[in-house]
């Protein structure tokens, strides 16, 4: 457990740098304006009130600014709140960067790049390999910075690649246990399945849904992209259709946004691996924040369950 | 009510031409082979048994053959059965054609073609018009022969175009009542929404699902085709995305196979019109077969309801 | 987009007349009483706080009073709030009436009356016509003032009649497209289907559910009324039963409060038309408030969707 | 366990009287006609085949006829079948009556009549008592002969009254345990709740659904009848509304056909008692047919469960 | 209606003793700390704010303390709030006890004990009787103090035994009406069905879920205990299995936490009686708080319904 | 694809040994008895009719007998049927054993035993190891012969151990990928999770559900057994509770028969691994029976999907 802003106790003094996530203006019961600021660092977030906020404060403390803050941790309606005593903008001398305040995938970027290269190199079907390479080439810059989602699981910088890499590793083990699996299909399906998120989300840093994302969704966009890419490369074998189905069906159920459910062995396996990695990512990160003998917060996408950390 | 094979009473004598839909071979309790034949004409189907079938019978009476039959209508396990007394293949002299035995859309093909041309001509947005024209051009031959489905509604020759034309006519009326509707979007969405069925189904006559149909479905295939077509034509405005969304969302719910639900006014309207025309097609055809004061058969896709034909 | 209280920006000055929708008393952290007032005009609502409210204020600013207000638009917890600087009761000189502040159906009342008369006149079955006339006569005063609901769709003055008239117009078009429809049944069903709301809701202005409404609901009340009316008029043919079924089944599903689902062609059509008009009313009004390229607020009864207003 | 036709073992000889429930004509593989007859007595039903049936047989052995049969019990596709060796119509000398072959409520009719009279007499609210009396008067003949349903529970002669009487007895006990219950409401609600079935079903002997039953259902018909009756008697207090709600809500859920769910204490209790009596009727009758240590057949309306009869 | 803290009107003065249920510390907009206290007595709860709370206040006014309070009832965000003017800890002279502030089962404890003894004595099967006695012996102290739940129904001191006794009384009546019921099974099943709650909940006074309760639940714990007890006593007949099934299945559905649904007549009856007693407990207590002609608050576990108290 | 009875084509001659799975007696339309026999070998099953069966045939051809058969493969109602020309009981000389006709796990029994021993040996927590060893000891004989289910997945001899071993192997790989997993919990949970099936099912050869299985189910039985075993061994730490929870929650949802859902990381992982191995077992075996480019039969427990075998 790191000692960030999210790990302090009520009553603690805090002094240090924080990133402003959002600012909201209100009017207090005495008629004076105040600011509600959400601060964040890598450990998480905390809300603060800046009472009697001057016009100048409003113009200074904006979202995405880094500030130096002194204050105490209070309790308000069952949640922590930072009672700000002093606040100033960080300056160049402070030597702090936005990246220092944003959660990142807990793995080395270069290692992930190498591993991905090897996995693509290992694809035996030339059509599949060419389609995968061509698509990845288009996204090169974003592939290693985007999160896998805006919330719930792998929702941090490089989360998308972290998710892909974890799934590929599970897939390699599954091949050992179920040798009937066609690894060309399974590996390429995993690599492509969520790449559509790069178009679905607006930016790696504070992602929101794009118009295209809301209208079509990342699944349909990638299914279309596979076809377009195959056409560019002059490929039209069954491989194209199989790759499209692997992406199309990976949510596993109509209700969950896959217009067709898996009818390939590898598509079913892809869906199962996706669920395991998403769930483990959520559970592990929730358990990290509690001590043995305690329960985690409720995990919304896992039916709101609270997990227990055993004492043995 | 036409006087076809599906409208006879138990006890009736039958003599006339029928089309063989399918033949199945069995062995009777006396050890001798028999044939189970499904006959059809435009009114519907009837099962028959050909007892003590000779090898020659097996080789003569094949699916898609037209035959001349004499027999009586019996009841077996609650269903009509044709007791065949005489059967022979039709020959050239008989002057009968397969088309005479297959249900067709109850509208004139040329009228539909003219109407569709006018509607396309009336599209004001040039990008939308060009995309629609270009897509229709690719399907020219099949556009006016395919059914809209393998069963349930508009499942007859030219059913697809019959469905599109009916929906366009409703849409024109809706524009009068809700003038805010953008007819370029609504009309083009209607024209394209089910065209993917031409690739989803194997043939107009006895359609089954293609591999592509099972893997991707007609919705995803058409969403992709819109993009490909736009690219061919060098078009990439918001129109492309809107057209794709209209097709993508037209089933109205995730559970019904639309990975995104309608978020355009015209997409919601398209979905509603689709439901009305499909339901009216089913209800009208079921009611046609019964007399006032009677109930129809259960209509499976309408929650298995039986409709009542009033006496007033 | 009208320039009412709901369309102002944060930071705007406001001066003008508003209607008080509700007043709630609280005690501030300094121990002094304050009033939470909801103001409304035709554009919508805004909340305001009246700090340090004197006893006199409490007795002056009551629900349904019209006041003249000066203040600024602030933001509080993500919603607009009116910061009141000056407030006084409107007086006779001001020449303002409650009607000026309440949303009304965007159609002419006299036109609706004429149209309804024509439609009733056109009913050919004399029993149906007599029943419809007799029922409408009982509600005469309320028929043209009641909303169709307390929220969601047509929830404004004369909303009930607006809804009926829109549906009748759709029905007329549907008859052109599906000539099998019995218009006596369809039109009379539409006219009667929601009239029970006049008994279900307490008043046209600020409607709440009556005891009868909660115990039986508008559907059962109207089904009963049709029977009572037929009895008064000495009518007992199949028409009575058909009319009752049309009303009874118009919500389309048991879960939605129809104890029987539609088993008449016209009952199914009535349900479909009801859905279209309700949905278009909601979508159109939500889209009216936003600019091209923007999304509407979430529309709760349409699965919480946000609709997009295209830029083309 | 009675020793009726439903309780015989495979291999048993049978000789005795049976009622013909239905007859269906077929053509055997040798081209000769045969009859499929369903026989019944109070214990249940059995299917039989009459091979090589003469025209005369067809005209003699009709539904609702009583016959004397000799044959053996065989097994066919997992079900018992009666292999008929001899069959003749019963004649006057045989002294058998249809009533002897139809299941009846296992309680004395006169006792039920007396008990019902007492319960009505005990109603203290005069309005409620008058409405109940008036309604029962209209149904007098059928009240004691109708079943409570066409299948599932109390589906035998006098089943409706058997169900009402059982529920009233439970209700009396509940009053002792929950003295807050208003017995005028609870008892009258129980008496009336299912009387609409007399109009919903065509006849006590072999009931099918009437047109009115399919269009409106027994709940809506009785709600309407309460109102009509109150009007005839010049009663219009809250009692009328409460009685209507008790009937309207007795299925407990919208999905189960109650357009409003119970919002009276007595309405909730009525629904619970209805469920208990229906379930016990089904479970008891299923358990009657098996020996200790055995399981019953699946009981469809109880989620297809098979109940176990303990050996202790 | 008792005149406790939950029954006061806005504007009332209050002076008297209250129990502190919980205390939460906050910081007001003026930067000073305040306490949010939930007070309770037998009638229910009320929230209060203690502004400008000194360090001493924080240390004095703790959960489970009894205090003497003067203040007024205000309205805040639609709920009552107590505006505290004076507050002090209760002392010995005041002669008040925690028990005076906690809701208790509205029945005499000694009577319940006697009744339970009789019911156990009446069990005829010696194995069942011995198992029941042995299990109850283990819980002796808690059996008559625990609530039946933390919220919803019988959630007060001795609520568990109150629930058991009510259910036994219903069961005795059911035996009269359905003589086939095996009372050894039904009575012993009722006695044991919820005893697992004593291990599932942490304490009778302010119960929370134990680790065992969250991991296994009261049903599985009692099923296990029956087996262990039978083994201690050297009993292993079918009785053990039947008792286990009665407990296992008493929630009636998988979704409600019973891994097997009832397949014993007595298990089905136990489930039905459990539902009746839980629902009547909730409905009766909600109706107690309102006047004739009024509606109760929404009752969450009864689909959020509001019940009506009739005026007749 | 093996060349067993399930892999023949219509028209094939068959001569060889088969196991009789079941025999049913019927009466043909000519009044003579016949036998319906289900034959099986390792490839699957086929139905046959033995016409004009003598009394002697009935007594000779019993379930579980091995016979030598000559006949042809016919088609009847869309399914294969074996037309028997000659049939005789196998004798000692034939050298055939029941085991030769029953599907077995496709893995070596001794290897599975060794592997299991190693995995148990590797458990580090002594309490967990002792409980696991003690429980397995009780089932020794059946542990390696039972199927994992009566149908759907691993429903063959030694299927239970095959399933356990596969899951353990996946779990070992998962530990490498998610090092936070506690392998003592995960491995022991996997070993125990389905052992209750040995008591739930009547026998390894032709398993049906036992009374205990129907009343309690394998999950509750094993939860109880863990407790009993811990007690025998004098163990009562948190380990016992954790092991119980792992077994209790392994179906993952209440609806699927787990009264509590997973709240341990290892319980969630166990559930996911169980699903993967069950699904892969079903999909792999279905795909084994078809050629590239074909679809499998519908797989009922996988939402009735048909899987496609690619041609690449």
Q: C interface toward D at CB cutoff 8 Å? A: 211-212, 214-217, 219-220, 223-224, 227-228, 231, 238, 241-242, 244-245, 248, 254-260, 263
Q: What residues of chain B lie within 8 A of the CB of D31, using their CB? A: 51
Q: What per-residue confidence (pLDDT) applies to C117?
A: 95
Question: Which among D28, D76, D78 is the nearest to F27, CB-wise?
Answer: D76
The DSSP letter of residue C174 is H
> Of the ranges A150-154, A283-287, E262-266, which one carries the lowest mean pLDDT score?
A150-154
Question: Any idea which residue has 């269009």 for tokens?
Answer: D215
Chains E and D touch (3+ CB pairs under 8 A): yes
Q: What per-residue confidence (pLDDT) applies to B2?
A: 43
F106 bridge partner residues: none
| Burial per residue of F78-105, b for 16 or more beta-carbon CB atoms within 10 angstroms, e otherwise | eebbbbbeebeebeeeeebeeeebbbbb
**Residues E103-114: tens digit of each pLDDT:** 888 888 999 999
How many residue pairs from chains A and B have C-beta atoms closer than 8 A? 79
Q: Select from C22, C23, C25 the residue whose CB has the most chain E CBs within 10 Å, as the one to mutate to test that interface.
A: C25
CB spacing of F180 vs A265 below 8 angstroms: no
Q: What per-residue confidence (pLDDT) applies to A30?
A: 63
Nearest-Cα distance to chain C for B71, in Å, is 35
Q: What per-residue confidence (pLDDT) applies to D53?
A: 83
Q: What is the mean pLDDT of residues E239-267?
A: 97
Nearest-Cα distance to chain F for A71, in Å, is 35
Cα–Cα distance between F44 and F61 in angstroms, integer?
Answer: 19
User: Can you read off the two tokens belonging to residue A157?
Assistant: 């910088």
How many residue pairs from chains A and E have C-beta atoms closer than 8 A? 27
Place B40 in a pLDDT band, splitting at 50, 70 and 90: confident
Question: Any idea which residue has 């000055």 for tokens?
Answer: C13
**Residues D157-168: tens digit of each pLDDT:** 899 999 999 999
Cα–Cα distance between D77 and D79 in angstroms, integer?
Answer: 6
Question: Which among C216, C231, C241 is the nearest to D212, CB-wise?
Answer: C241
User: Can you read off the two tokens belonging to residue B20?
Assistant: 């063989």
**Residues F27-85: tens digit of each pLDDT:** 665 667 788 898 988 888 899 988 888 888 888 898 888 999 998 888 776 678 898 88
Q: What per-residue confidence (pLDDT) applies to F80?
A: 84
- Give chain A's length: 312
What does each C-alpha distance from F201 to F161, F279, F282 come to in angstroms?
15, 21, 20
| Burial per residue of E291-310, b for 16 or more beta-carbon CB atoms within 10 angstroms, e otherwise | eeeebbeebeebeebebbbb
Q: What residues of chain F lie within 8 A of the CB of A295, using their CB? A: 263
**Residues B47-57: tens digit of each pLDDT:** 998 888 888 88
Nearest-Cα distance to chain F for D78, in Å, is 8
CB spacing of A77 vs E26 below 8 angstroms: yes
Q: What per-residue confidence (pLDDT) applies to F1?
A: 33
The DSSP letter of residue A296 is P
| Burial per residue of B76-87, b for 16 or more beta-carbon CB atoms within 10 angstroms, e otherwise | eeeebbbbbeeb
> Of the ranges A139-148, E209-218, F217-226, which one carries the lowest mean pLDDT score?
A139-148
Nearest-Cα distance to chain B for A204, in Å, is 23
Q: What is the mean pLDDT of residues C82-99?
A: 87
**Residues C114-155: tens digit of each pLDDT:** 999 999 999 999 999 999 999 999 997 799 999 998 888 888
Q: A interface toward B at CB cutoff 8 Å? A: 211-212, 214-217, 219-220, 223-224, 227-228, 231, 238, 241-242, 244-245, 248, 254-260, 263
Q: Which chains share 3+ C-beta pairs under 8 angstroms with C? A: A, B, D, E
CB spacing of D76 vs F26 below 8 angstroms: yes
Q: What per-residue confidence (pLDDT) applies to A287?
A: 95
**Residues F243-301: tens digit of each pLDDT:** 999 999 999 999 999 999 999 999 999 999 999 999 999 999 999 989 999 999 999 99
CB spacing of D308 vs F26 below 8 angstroms: no
CB spacing of F211 vs D75 below 8 angstroms: no
Q: What residues of chain E lie within 8 A of the CB of C214, using their CB? A: 295, 308
Place C208 in a pLDDT band, splitting at 50, 70 and 90: confident
**Residues E201-252: tens digit of each pLDDT:** 988 877 889 999 999 999 999 999 999 999 999 998 999 999 999 999 999 9
SS (H, E, C) chain F: CCCCHHHCCCCCEEEEEEEEEEEEEEECCCCCEEEEEEEEECCEEEEEEECCCCHHHHHHCCCCCEEEEEEEEEEECCEEEEEEEEEEECCHHHCCCHHHHCCECCCCHHHHHHHHHHHHHCCCCHHHHHHHHHHHHHCHHHHCCCCCCCCCCCCCECHHHHHHHHHHHHHHHHHHHCCCCCHHHHHHHHHHHCCCHHHHECCCCCCCECHHHHHCHHHHHHHHHHHHHHHHCCCCCHHHHHHHHHHHCCCCCHHHCCCCCCCCHHHHHHHHHHHHHHHHHHHHHHHHCCCCCCECCCEHHHCCECCECCCC
Q: What per-residue confidence (pLDDT) applies to E52?
A: 80
| Strand (E) or helix (H) holding F238 | helix F238-248
Cα–Cα distance between A135 and E199 in angstroms, integer?
Answer: 58
How many residue pairs from chains B and D have C-beta atoms closer than 8 A? 25
Chains F and C touch (3+ CB pairs under 8 A): no
DSSP reduced 3-state for A37 = strand
What percent of chain D clears pLDDT 90, i.e. is strictly above it? 61
Q: A interface toward C at CB cutoff 8 Å? A: 24-27, 29-31, 211, 214-215
Q: What residues of chain E lie within 8 A of the CB of A51, using their CB? A: 29, 31
| Burial per residue of A100-113, b for 16 or more beta-carbon CB atoms within 10 angstroms, e otherwise | ebbbbbeeeeeebe
The DSSP letter of residue A107 is S
User: Is the model more confident about F43 or about D18?
Assistant: D18
User: Can you read off the two tokens belonging to residue B285?
Assistant: 């055809």
Average pLDDT across chain B, whole number: 90
The DSSP letter of residue A9 is P
What lies within 8 Å, CB to CB, of A177 at 6+ separation is F166, F169, F170, F173
Contact criterion met (CB below 8 Å) for A101 and A19:
yes
Nearest residue to D195 via CA among D237, D136, D242: D136
DSSP reduced 3-state for E187 = helix
Q: What is the mean pLDDT of residues F212-228?
A: 96
Place D25 in a pLDDT band, splitting at 50, 70 and 90: confident
| Strand (E) or helix (H) holding F76 | strand F66-76
What percent of chain B clears pLDDT 70, i.e. is strictly above it? 96
Q: Is a pLDDT exceeding 80 seen at residue B32?
A: no
Cα atoms in the Cβ-side hemisphere of radius 13 Å centred on D6: 16
Strands of C31-78, DSSP E: 33-41, 44-50, 66-76
Q: D interface toward C at CB cutoff 8 Å? A: 211-212, 214-217, 219-220, 223-224, 227-228, 231, 238, 241-242, 244-245, 248, 254-260, 263
Place D207 in a pLDDT band, splitting at 50, 70 and 90: confident
Nearest residue to B264 via CA among C302, C7, F178: C302
Give the max Cα distance, chain B: 72
Q: Is B85 left (phi over 0), alpha (psi -120 to 50) or beta?
A: alpha
What does each C-alpha distance from C15 to A145, C19, C71, C86, D206 come to in angstroms?
50, 13, 7, 9, 76
Question: Any idea which residue has 């709240």 for tokens?
Answer: F263
Percent of chain C as helix, strand, coil, to the nearest 5 = 45, 20, 35
User: Can you read off the two tokens belonging to residue C192?
Assistant: 């009667």
Q: What per-residue confidence (pLDDT) applies to E288?
A: 92
The DSSP letter of residue E103 is -
Cα–Cα distance between E143 and E138 in angstroms, integer?
Answer: 9
Q: Where are the alpha helices (DSSP H) in chain C?
A: 55-60, 109-121, 126-138, 159-177, 183-193, 197-200, 211-215, 217-233, 238-248, 265-288
Q: What per-residue confidence (pLDDT) applies to B203?
A: 82
Nearest residue to B284 via CA among B309, B259, B254, B249: B309
Cα–Cα distance between A266 and A271 in angstroms, integer?
Answer: 9
Q: What is the mean pLDDT of residues A109-118?
A: 94
Nearest-Cα distance to chain E for A188, in Å, is 39
| Strand (E) or helix (H) holding A186 | helix A183-193
Question: Which among B27, B211, B214 is the nearest to F74, CB-wise?
Answer: B27
Contact criterion met (CB below 8 Å) for A64 and A98:
yes
CB spacing of E227 vs F231 below 8 angstroms: no
Question: Which among A184, A261, A312 is the nearest to F305, CB-wise?
Answer: A261
DSSP reduced 3-state for B144 = coil
Domains, chain F, in order of start with CATH, read 5-101 (2.40.50.140), 109-285 (1.10.3210)
Q: What residues of chain A lie within 8 A of the CB of E23, using their CB? A: none
Nearest-Cα distance to chain C for B262, in Å, is 8
Q: Which chains share 3+ C-beta pairs under 8 angstroms with B? A: A, C, D, F
Cα–Cα distance between A219 and A196 in angstroms, integer?
Answer: 6
Place F151 in a pLDDT band, splitting at 50, 70 and 90: confident
What lies within 8 Å, CB to CB, of B202 at 6+ separation is B208, B209, B210
Q: Virtual CA dihedral for F64, F69, F71, F73, nearest 10 degrees?
A: 40
Question: Which among A29, A74, A78 is the nearest to E27, CB-wise?
Answer: A74
Q: Is F301 left (phi over 0), alpha (psi -120 to 50) or beta?
A: alpha
CB spacing of F264 vs A308 below 8 angstroms: yes
Nearest residue to D85 via CA among F27, C39, C88, E252: F27
Nearest residue to D261 via CA among E273, C255, C253: C255
User: Can you read off the two tokens belonging to residue E251?
Assistant: 């929630």
Q: What is the mean pLDDT of residues C161-174?
A: 96
Place D2 in a pLDDT band, splitting at 50, 70 and 90: very low
**Residues B61-110: tens digit of each pLDDT:** 988 889 999 988 887 766 788 988 889 999 888 888 887 887 888 888 99
Q: What per-residue confidence (pLDDT) applies to C28?
A: 66
Cα–Cα distance between F139 and F123 in angstroms, integer?
Answer: 20
Cα–Cα distance between F203 and F140 in angstroms, integer?
Answer: 14
The chain A residue lying nearest C74, using CA atoms, is A26
- Give chain F's length: 312
Q: What residues of chain B lie within 8 A of the CB of A227, using their CB? A: 224, 228
Q: Is a pLDDT exceeding 50 seen at residue B225?
A: yes
Question: Any idea which residue has 């993952």 for tokens?
Answer: F252
Q: Which chains share 3+ C-beta pairs under 8 angstroms with F? A: A, B, D, E
pTM: 0.87
Nearest residue to A243 via CA among A229, A233, A259: A229
Q: What residues of chain B lie within 8 A of the CB of D24, using their CB? A: 75, 77-78
Chains B and E touch (3+ CB pairs under 8 A): no
CB spacing of D311 vs E262 below 8 angstroms: no
A102 bridge partner residues: none
Cα–Cα distance between A121 and A103 in angstroms, integer?
Answer: 31
Cα–Cα distance between A153 and A160 in angstroms, integer?
Answer: 10
Q: B interface toward A at CB cutoff 8 Å? A: 211-212, 214-217, 219-220, 223-224, 227-228, 231, 238, 241-242, 244-245, 248, 254-260, 263
Place F191 in a pLDDT band, splitting at 50, 70 and 90: very high
Q: What is the mean pLDDT of residues F164-174?
A: 96
Q: Calculate helix-pair angle for C183-193, C109-121, nearest 10 degrees.
A: 140
The chain F residue lying nearest D11, using CA atoms, is F25
What percent of chain B clears pLDDT 90, i.e. is strictly above it? 61
Nearest-Cα distance to chain C for D258, in Å, is 6
Antiparallel, parallel or unpaired: β A79-89 and A44-50: parallel
């Amino acid at each position: 457990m790191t000692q960030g802003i999210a790990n302090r106790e009520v009553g603690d003094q805090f002094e240090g740098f924080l990133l402003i996530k959002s600012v909201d203006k209100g009017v207090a019961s005495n008629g004076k304006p105040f600011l509600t600021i959400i601060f964040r660092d890598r450990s998480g977030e905390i809300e603060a009130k800046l009472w009697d906020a001057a016009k100048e404060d409003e113009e200074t403390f904006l979202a995405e600014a880094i500030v130096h803050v002194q204050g105490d941790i209070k309790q308000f309606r069952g949640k922590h709140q930072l009672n700000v005593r002093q606040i100033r903008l960080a300056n160049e001398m402070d030597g702090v960067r936005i990246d220092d305040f944003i959660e990142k995938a807990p793995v080395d970027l270069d290692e992930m790049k190498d591993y991905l290269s090897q996995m693509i190199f290992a694809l035996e079907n030339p059509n599949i390999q060419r389609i995968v390479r061509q698509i990845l080439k288009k996204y090169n810059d974003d592939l290693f910075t985007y999160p896998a989602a805006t919330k719930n699981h792998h929702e941090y910088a490089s989360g998308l690649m972290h998710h892909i890499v974890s799934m590929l590793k599970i897939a390699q083990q599954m091949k050992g246990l179920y040798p009937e699996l066609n690894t060309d299909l399974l590996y390429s399906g995993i690599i492509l399945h969520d790449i559509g998120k790069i178009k679905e989300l607006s930016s790696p840093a504070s992602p929101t849904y794009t118009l295209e994302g809301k209208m079509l969704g990342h699944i349909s966009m990638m299914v279309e992209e596979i076809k377009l890419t195959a056409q560019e490369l002059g490929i039209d074998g069954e491989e194209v259709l199989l790759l499209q189905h692997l992406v199309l069906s990976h949510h596993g159920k109509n209700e969950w946004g896959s217009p067709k459910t898996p009818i390939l062995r590898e598509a079913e396996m892809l869906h199962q691996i996706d669920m395991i990695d998403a769930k483990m990512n959520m559970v592990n990160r929730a358990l990290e924040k509690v001590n043995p003998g305690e329960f985690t917060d409720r995990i919304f996408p896992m039916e709101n369950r609270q997990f227990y950390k055993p004492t043995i």
